Amino acid sequence: MTSADRDTPRRNGTASRFFAEPMRDYVLQCLSRPVSVLQAGCLAPLQELGIGELTEEGFEISVTAVDADHPLARRVLRDSGSAYDDVFTGDLRTVPIPQRAYDVIYCGQLLERVHHVELVLDRLVGALKPGGLLLIRTGDRYSARALLDRLLPGPARRAVWSRFRPGTPGPFPAVYEKTVSEAGIASFALMRGLVIAARASERARPDDPPGLSSSVRITCAAISRITRGRFDDGHDELVYVIRKPQDRFARVV
């Protein structure tokens, strides 16, 4: 997969080619050993990595979860039951994650709701094996939906969350530090010697319930117009496939 800016359709609950293809390619390079995955963020749609299909084909893949020691995160992880081989919770800047231990780290729907994003990412990159993959799905600070998420009062956020995500504990905090943006992630990768293999922007707004979905769409379009495009309505989330070089002294061109 080559570096590219492109729009890719989101496929909720199923494997997404954007992540599943590099995941499969990596697993095929590791035929002689099991592959270890760290899911950073309890809300990440793990199905989009295509792990279920790979295990059905006989590949051995273990999945560990890590998230902040937050009541909502603990509830989601508890409800997940036996979906993971192991679970870590704690301050994401200091939680004892084994270093250089994971082949793939999937950081989904986490960065937009935590503080000290660069420190959290440093911890995750440190846990990644040389040559491993860091897969990121995050809201974009400079999207219209992110601004709406930050501006909505608490009761309104809770009402919207319960309609869009019935049965899922939430809403989580809406932080959206400056690093949680295209420029911020590009700068982080460059400064750490990481290689962005692919990137894309996606719309991630649910279609149901239709009335609420329509209201959110109209509001986001209005935000984009009022801010003269500073907060873009063309996408909600950013997705990345980032590779950690085998040689930590490798130059990124």
Instruction: List the domains of the chain with CATH numbers.
Output: 5-140+175-205+235-243 (3.40.50.150)
pLDDT in tens, 19-41: 999 999 999 999 889 999 999 99
Say how many C-beta atoms besides its own lie within 10 A of residue 203's C-beta.
16
pLDDT at 206: 87
Q: What is the pTM of this model?
A: 0.91
pLDDT at 14: 56
pLDDT at 205: 86
Is the predicted pLDDT of residue 13 greater than 80, yes or no? Answer: no
Average pLDDT of the chain is: 90
Is the predicted pLDDT of residue 89 greater than 70, yes or no? Answer: yes
At residue 201 the predicted structure's pLDDT band, cuts being 50, 70 and 90, is very high
pLDDT at 249: 54
Query: What percent of the chain has pLDDT above 70?
Result: 91
